[in-house]
Amino acid sequence: MGFDRRNFLKTIGLANAGILVGSLNSCQASAPKKGGVMAVVLEAAERTHRQRFNMSGYAAPAVDRVRVGFIGLGMRGPGAVERFTNIDGVEIKALCDTITDRVDKAQKILADAGLPPAKAYGGNEDAWKEMCMSNDLDLVYICTPWSLHTPMAVFAMENGKHACVEVPAAKTIDEAWQLVETSEKTKKHCMMLENCCYDFFELLTLNMARQGFFGDIVHVEGAYIHDLRSLNFSKDAYVDMWRLRENQNRRGNLYPTHGLGPVCQVLDINRGDRMDYIVSVSSKDFQMAAMAKDLAARDPFYNQFATDGYRGNMNTSTIITEKGKTIMLQHDTTSPRPYSRIHLISGTKGMASKWPEPERIATAHEWFGEKEMEDVKSKYTPEIVKRIGEMARAVGGHGGMDFIMDWRLVDCLRNGLPLDQDVYDAALWSSIAPLSEWSVANRSASITVPDFTCGAYKNNTPVDLELAKGGNTGIRKKTPVS
């Protein structure tokens, strides 16, 4: 029985009501109990999906000069525009934001770099659609609130553009499948801009894993532990306080991909292995509601947020893969703790850990000393860092990883190479948020993780960062206007 599985996966949205139960397989599910709303689940779970086209390893036709348009010029967009002015083989053709002053500020970034102005789109909620329908673009770069990520990426692909989108790429399982189905149908790339995959230690440990340094990987850990209370409650940070609203009435790992993406690449998830199922547990909220109520007592503006129901301080999720490896993820953006993504890799021959700093590696009971660490970095630093690392540190963007990500994206498009992160990664890594919400709402019951590759993961090839092909995209020499 053929069907569009999004109808089933919409039921994930019922998680907070606690009415979806059972272990649900992505492409061919075992039958849940019949009766009531479970009849709807059963109807959907018995249906299957066939992969239209495998986007993993897909090399789109090369584009010598990548014409890019940016949507969203608030928190993340301007930095992306600035980084792209440093990359050769790029034409910044369009800038879009509902707030026109932001477009003007981005135009100044181009002028300061000696580049011509881009076409401006803005002033209304649908200006981005006009931009996506333009014939002057190859790539749409999306830096908007989470709820707009999937609609914009889908629309861009349907209008013949590659799409790259800030994290998370999707908020629901339904949206994740929309991305997969649209990318397969249009043969346009959909890359989630998971910059942490391009941080220096993450790239080093990925190459070490590729070279067998850790032996068989047994267990990995990732996290997003970052105290964002002041930012989330600021009136000047996010338009209409959208990020604070995301934390209301949702309990789970709402932002999993920074810690998850790099360790998934180490484990060859979607490229030889797949996630099997997840369990998730969340603490109570000990601070968000209290802070909102305290602010409301002094400023009536915050009355709309002075409610209970905020996500808990700490969420811990555990995932097991088909090959029996385990992933531990944590999310806490409330507690007063130092920043950490953990990034721990444990294998049969050695292990590595990035946080707490300094980053460390071991093959026995003691951490490597300074000389041993230098030797490891000298031997295992991947070619992409040797080629572009110095420039990345100079340009910046979270220490340089943002620039490596953007440069690599452009280089792949210009040389007709597969992207390091494909639509299946975008869908899978993003899906952990709604899956964790379901598990938390159901007393930490396990739920099967969808296989967005529909079995193709068995033959998909791992990420290759050695630049055996490509790597020829240069750095643009700026000629600022006087």
Q: Is residue 54 part of a domain?
A: no
pLDDT at 30: 33
Whether 204 and 160 map to the same domain: the answer is: no
pLDDT per position as a tens digit, 427-458: 999 999 999 999 998 899 999 899 999 999 99
Ranking 342-346, 382-386, 436-440 by mean pLDDT, the lowest is 436-440
Tally of CA atoms within 13 A in the half-sphere of 478 that contains its CB? 16
Q: Is residue 216 part of a domain?
A: yes
Portion of the chain with pLDDT greater than 70, in percent = 89
pLDDT at 50: 85
Q: Is the pLDDT of residue 466 over 90?
A: no
What average pLDDT does the segment 104-125 reach? 96
Whether 201 and 326 map to the same domain: the answer is: yes
Q: Which residue has the higher pLDDT, 248 or 3?
A: 248
Q: Which residue has the higher pLDDT, 469 or 253?
A: 253
Of 151, 166, 193, the one marking the end of a domain is 193
Residues in the chain: 482
What average pLDDT does the segment 50-62 reach? 96
Q: Is the pLDDT of residue 481 over 60?
A: no
What average pLDDT does the segment 269-279 reach? 96
Q: Rounded CA gap, 89 and 68, in Å? A: 11
Residue with structure tokens 């934001």?
A: 97
Q: Is the pLDDT of residue 281 over 70?
A: yes
What average pLDDT does the segment 34-49 reach? 35
pLDDT at 452: 93
Our count of domains for the chain comes to 3
Tell me, what CATH number does 143's domain have?
3.40.50.720
Q: What angle do CA 266, 267, 272 make, to 5 degrees?
A: 125
Long-range Cβ contacts of 19-22 (<8 Å, 24+ apart): 20/438, 20/442, 21/442, 21/445
pLDDT at 357: 95
Q: Is the pLDDT of residue 354 over 70?
A: yes
Q: Is residue 238 part of a domain?
A: yes
Q: Is the pLDDT of residue 7 over 70?
A: no
pLDDT per position as a tens digit, 329-338: 999 999 999 9
Whether 184 and 294 map to the same domain: the answer is: no
Region of residue 166 (phi > 0: left; psi between -120 and 50: alpha; otherwise: beta): beta
Beta strands across the sheet bearing 119-122: 119-122, 90-97, 66-71, 139-142, 162-165, 190-192
Q: Is the pLDDT of residue 109 over 80?
A: yes
Residue 249 banded pLDDT, cuts 50, 70, 90: confident
Q: Is the pLDDT of residue 37 over 70?
A: no
- Mind spelling out the 3-state secondary structure of 360-419? EEECCCCECCHHHHHHHHHHHCCHHHHHHHHHHHHHCCHHHHHHHHHHHHHHHHHHCCCC
pLDDT at 48: 56
Q: Is residue 111 part of a domain?
A: yes
pLDDT at 464: 84
pLDDT at 292: 97
120 Cβ neighbours under 8 A, 6+ residues apart: 94, 95, 96, 100, 103, 107
Tell me, what CATH number does 323's domain have?
3.30.360.10
pLDDT per position as a tens digit, 138-191: 999 999 999 999 999 999 999 999 999 999 999 999 899 999 999 999 999 999
Domain limits for position 145: 66-193
Whether 29 and 109 map to the same domain: the answer is: no
Whether 112 and 238 map to the same domain: the answer is: no
Q: Is residue 413 part of a domain?
A: no
Whether 231 and 291 map to the same domain: the answer is: yes
Q: Is residue 467 part of a domain?
A: no
What average pLDDT does the segment 259-271 reach? 98
Whether 211 and 319 map to the same domain: the answer is: yes
What average pLDDT does the segment 63-75 reach? 97
pLDDT at 479: 65
Whether 280 and 352 map to the same domain: the answer is: yes
Q: Is residue 361 part of a domain?
A: yes
Whether 266 and 300 map to the same domain: the answer is: yes
Please report, for residues 38, 258, 447, the alpha-carbon distance to residue 430 in angstroms, rounded to integers and kept in the order given: 25, 10, 15
What does the mean pLDDT of the chain come to? 90
Q: Which residue has the higher pLDDT, 482 or 350?
A: 350
Whether 38 and 183 map to the same domain: the answer is: no
Tally of CA atoms within 13 A in the half-sphere of 439 that contains its CB? 28
What average pLDDT does the segment 304-327 reach? 97
Of 177, 193, 209, the one marking the end of a domain is 193
What average pLDDT does the segment 241-248 reach? 96
pLDDT at 465: 81
Whether 136 and 264 map to the same domain: the answer is: no
Cβ–Cβ contacts within 10 Å for residue 12, how many? 21
pLDDT per position as a tens digit, 403-426: 999 999 999 999 999 999 999 999
Q: Is residue 157 part of a domain?
A: yes
Whether 76 and 129 map to the same domain: the answer is: yes
